[in-house]
Amino acid sequence: MQAKPFTHFPPPPPPPSTTKPSLVHQAPLSPATTVPRAISISTPDTRVAIPVPVPIPVPAPPTVELDDSITAFWDYQFLFVSQRQETTQPVTLRTVEGAIPPDFPSGTYYLTGPGLFTDDHGSTVHPLDGHGYLRAFTIDNNNVGRKVKYMAKYIKTEAQLEEHDPDTDTWRFTHRGPFSVLKGGRKVGNTKVMKNVANTSVVKWGQKLLCLWEGGDPYEIESGTLDTVGRFDMIDGCDSREDERSHGGDAWEFAAGLLKPLLYGVFKMPPRRLLSHYKVDASRNRLLTVSCNAEDMLLPRSNFTFYEYDSNFKLVEKQEFRIPDHLMIHDWAFTDTHYIIFANRIKLDVIGSMGAVCGISPMISALTVNPSKPTSPIYLLPRSSNKAESKGKGRERDWRVPIEAPSQMWLLHVGNAFEISKTAEGSLDIQIQAAACSYQWFNFRNLFGYNWQHQKLDPSIMNIKEGENELLPHLVQVSIKVDGDNKWEECSVKSMKKWKKSSDFPVINPAFSGKKNRYIYAATSLGSRKALPHFPFDSVVKIDLSNDSVQTWSVGSRRFVGEPIFVPKIGDHHHDDEDEEEEDVLQYAVSMQRCYLVILNPKKIGTSNALVARMEIPRHLNFPLGFHGFWAAEKKI
């Protein structure tokens, strides 16, 4: 993040020392002398819950301006305060405002994200390396009471079992993680780098509940108890040997052959890593995932394998692609006929590599963004299930040649992609809705403002000067036109309608995934707080793509929001009327010293009565900011 900080935060007073930096063991303090760990996450018409950290004593500031600077710093730190406590039995949440609607479907909202960042030996890790903490909000709307029950447990990955002592409830980090440096552990020669923390996303498919991470197998969880079953081999041990034979003369394959013993043997990386972002094709009732090779991180070529599973988790499609470019992919898109890869281009950082190997900087320091091209390459990869359909409609396009978007953007998350027109001659018009940022702002080592030297989060990195908003994450619409001969005709990128404020986590009604949608929702910031104008997010934005209208709902002062989750009504997928897309949504919000599960009416976002219900998480179970969630509707027997 090379942009200049928007302001200077005064040095914060040190929090009281504790043997275990846990939310659970900190007593509540008077509002006049505390800075609560406020965090909230919202979503359009959603039902979600969110964590709030416990207060830390801070001396009363002498001026209002200084107070906001100090509280802003601590509010930001509190988004990522460790929660060591788990639940053994479901906890019924108390409704503090409104009521759950009678027509709200029964089901469970699962949210995964990091839960622990600081051990008992002086090390604090990056949020992306925090151990996965799975939260579950079960809404039972079959009875008169319409109760919400909450559970939360750590995902018992191999790293979690090694680093946590259940008898003493103490932690010692031994794995560095790709984004962190250990202060109280071994540095030089520490090959325990790829710590699978299963903290990024969650999905329930084919009766399996899975928590995913960016660098290894997902972990299967027992849905009723949240107990960890174990690693789930989702890609069936694929090691790309067939792919290697077909590219035996490739010089980079020779280099890959030299790297594999080091990566697989020394660093214990799996041959292929599954990306944490999956897609659900609602029209075909399929789960789509993608993996890439471990050595691709260090080579100027990328291997992607796409998998499609039916409702019983049976693999029905598998297709491999090799792209001659050095890419870092977090999210991607699909349509009826294509998989879409946005080429976030990277390169090796020689100086950073030396520090990473020596253990004095994070392993991710070996990589940096590659802004050498003024355009953004986009790869349209054909879905195999539509090959027969496309036969005879013009010659097949060489998918190795990217489409060049006219602006430089680093893609973060995709909301939806679809084909809006296809003539008899075979022309194609593809629309993608996503969140993207600038190469000039994005920096692997400083994500979330992490500073491994001081082990603090710097909020100024996420809040640059006013007028530079285009550098920050914001919503974009990408349009691609391909003619009947599969030749690229046009590609454009523009900010989504009139909303240019800092935004991320775009979502839609999942029944419309891969199809034309009218509405899109995202977490955003209205910029009303001078000290934290862009992040953390404090509002939900709803955009009506049909008429260019924008509506927002704000969670309130010193409260924040994250990824929205849309909860469709039962039977939604049978409707083709776009107005039916606007249904109940799951949203989670965090307020001062409390976390709340918040339900919004998406049709009333922008009005004073959008909030439908707010449920309170007990103070001792407040939890840090989550990443991605999933709504699993109750199956009718």
In-domain check, residue 528: yes
Q: Which residues are annotated as a binding site?
A: 247, 330, 413, 628
Residue 164 has pLDDT above 80, yes or no: yes
Binding residues for Fe cation: 247, 330, 413, 628
Residue partners of 275: CB distance under 8 A and separation at least 6: 214, 289, 290, 291, 292, 329, 330, 331, 332
**Distance in Å from the first CA to the final CA of the chain:** 52
Model confidence at 50, pLDDT cuts 50, 70, 90, reads very low
Q: Does residue 434 form part of some domain?
A: yes
Please tell me whether residue 129 adopts helix, strand or coil conformation. Answer: helix
Q: Is residue 11 part of a domain?
A: no
Lowest mean pLDDT among 47-56, 80-89, 364-373, 545-554: 47-56
15 assigned to some structural domain: no
Q: Would you say residue 337 has pLDDT above 80?
A: yes
> Does residue 19 fall inside a structural domain?
no
pLDDT at 4 over 50: no
Helix (H, G, I), strand (E, B) or coil at 418: strand
d(CA 615, CA 602): 18
Report if residue 36 sits inside a domain.
yes
Range(s) of the domain holding residue 90: 31-633
Strand 201-205 relative to strand 503-507, pairing: unpaired
What average pLDDT does range 245-259 have in this prediction? 56
Confidence of residue 255 (pLDDT cuts 50, 70, 90): low
> pLDDT above 70 covers what percent of the chain?
73
pLDDT in tens, 619-628: 899 899 999 9
> Does residue 174 carry a pLDDT above 50?
yes
Instruction: Spell out where 455-527 has E strands.
Output: 456-457, 474-482, 488-495, 503-507, 519-524
Tally of structural domains, the chain: 1
Are β-strands 91-92 and 594-600 bridged in parallel, bridged antiparallel, or unpaired? unpaired
The region of weakest confidence among 21-25, 135-139, 410-414, 547-551 is 21-25
Query: What sign does the dihedral 314-315-317-323 (CA atoms) show?
Result: positive
Task: Give the confidence band of 558 by pLDDT, cuts at 50, 70, 90.
Answer: confident
Cα(5)–Cα(458) distance, rounded to whole angstroms? 9
pLDDT: which is higher, 532 or 103: 532
Is 18 domain-assigned? no
SS3 597: strand
Q: Tell me if 22 is assigned to some domain.
A: no
List the one residue out of 219, 213, 174, 212 whose CA is nearest residue 193. 174
